[in-house]
Amino acid sequence: MIPKLNIVPFVSVDHMMKLVLAIGVERFLVELSEYIESDFRRWESFDKTPRVASHSREGVIELMPTSDGEVYGFKYVNGHPKNTREGRQTVTAFGVLADVGTGYPVLLTEMTILTALRTAATSAVAAKYLAPKNARTMAVIGNGAQAEFQAVAFKALLGVDKLRLYDIDRSASTKCVRNLAGYGFDITVCGSIEEAMVGAEIVTTVTADKQNATILTDNMVGSGLHINAIGGDCPGKTELHADILKRSDIFVEYPPQTRIEGEIQQLAPDYPVKELWRVIAGQETGRTNERQITLFDSVGFAIEDFSALRYVKKQIEQTGLYEELDLLADPDEPRDLFGMLLRAAVATPTAA
């Protein structure tokens, strides 16, 4: 049971890890994907805006708000590709849900782990509609923090069980092999992107670099492939050669944001793309034939975070895996905020 109104449930990193492990990573991803799909089906009921980004030489800090009219959510997230060289994460995040009726926050939570889970769940949802039927083999280019989450989501939702890994830093691939040991994958660590692409029916690109990189060139992409492009998610930060985009059917989250941040920033502003939510809602077709190249140009959108926050709130109500945070000043007489401060002086001895 969630306590008094002035107390906000807070999910620390420790509690998030306990929650994910108590539910099980695969089940968490499957249930979260159901929340994402159900929110994408009611896409039109959300307030939507491209995220508010503050760019600097080294990275970006972003705020990602949305509301369905009853609940409001936002995420604070950064992207700093150089961070791992200093022992920090490239991406960290936290988020808030609030009651629209009172404006009071009803959840504050870590979202670094939750972002990796929601990104992976969204990718797997997209692939359910776009990847070749019965695809089993996925190349994963970039084996950093997001990589295992992507792999496990594709296994849990699609049955992908063969991975072909490549990273410029081999120790990242070795880390993935170690972490995925208990998940029943057949894993091959490859010496080049070309080698990783051999036999792949799906490729996930999830590299971090603050530039227009060319992780995939046109000649690496054969007919029928599904491309799950995760790493290009900022202006001036892409992973695919533009020629690939012109041969693909492109699916995006929220076009006004993806046209600024996604792979399609390389194309004309009116280049035709399809919205993933329309495919999920049955208004638009996903994959239509075996030879089609499908591209999910993922940048991450606020509604996915909203779904994740909603799911976590439900789970902590059932498990009690949260702390009570004294976050909101809430005097008994609402207008006596100053009086509340003075009464605290009586209880708090002043420093000598």
Ligand X SMILES: NC(=O)c1ccc[n+]([C@@H]2O[C@H](COP(=O)([O-])OP(=O)(O)OC[C@H]3O[C@@H](n4cnc5c(N)ncnc54)[C@H](O)[C@@H]3O)[C@@H](O)[C@H]2O)c1
Q: Which residues are catalytic?
A: 233
Residues within window 153-172 making contact with ligand X, judged by CB under 6 A: 166-169, 172
Q: Say whether residue 298 binds ligand X (CB under 6 A).
A: yes
Q: Pick the closest to residue 113 from 139, 86, 95 (CA basis).
A: 95
Size of the site for ligand X (CB under 6 A): 29
Binding mask 117-146 for ligand X (x = CB under 6 A): --x---------------------xxxxxx
| Contact pick of 9, 50, 73, 231 for ligand X (by CB under 6 A) | 231
Quote the DSSP letter at residue 34: H
Asked if 85 and 96 count as a contact pair (C-beta separation under 8 A), the reply is no
Q: Say whether residue 204 binds ligand X (CB under 6 A).
A: no
Name residues whose C-beta falls within 8 Å of residue 334's C-beta, 6 or more positions apart in sequence: none
| Contact pick of 79, 95, 132, 286 for ligand X (by CB under 6 A) | 79
Q: In the structure encoding, which two tokens stand for residue 33, read together?
A: 């994907």
Q: Select 301 or 322, whichever has its Cβ closest to ligand X.
A: 301
Binding mask 252-291 for ligand X (x = CB under 6 A): ----------------------------------------
Quote the DSSP letter at residue 335: T
In the complex, minimum distance from the CB of residue 268 to ligand X, in angstroms, rounded to a whole number? 22
Q: How far is CA 98 from CA 9, 35, 45, 290, in A?
A: 11, 18, 17, 44
Q: How far apart are the first and last CA of the chain?
A: 42
Strand, helix or coil at 27? helix
| Contact pick of 2, 25, 213, 327 for ligand X (by CB under 6 A) | 213
Q: How far is CA 313 from CA 69, 93, 316, in A?
A: 17, 17, 5
Residue ranges that bind ligand X, judged by CB under 6 A: 79, 84, 90-91, 115, 119, 141-146, 166-169, 172, 206-209, 213, 215, 230-231, 233, 298-300
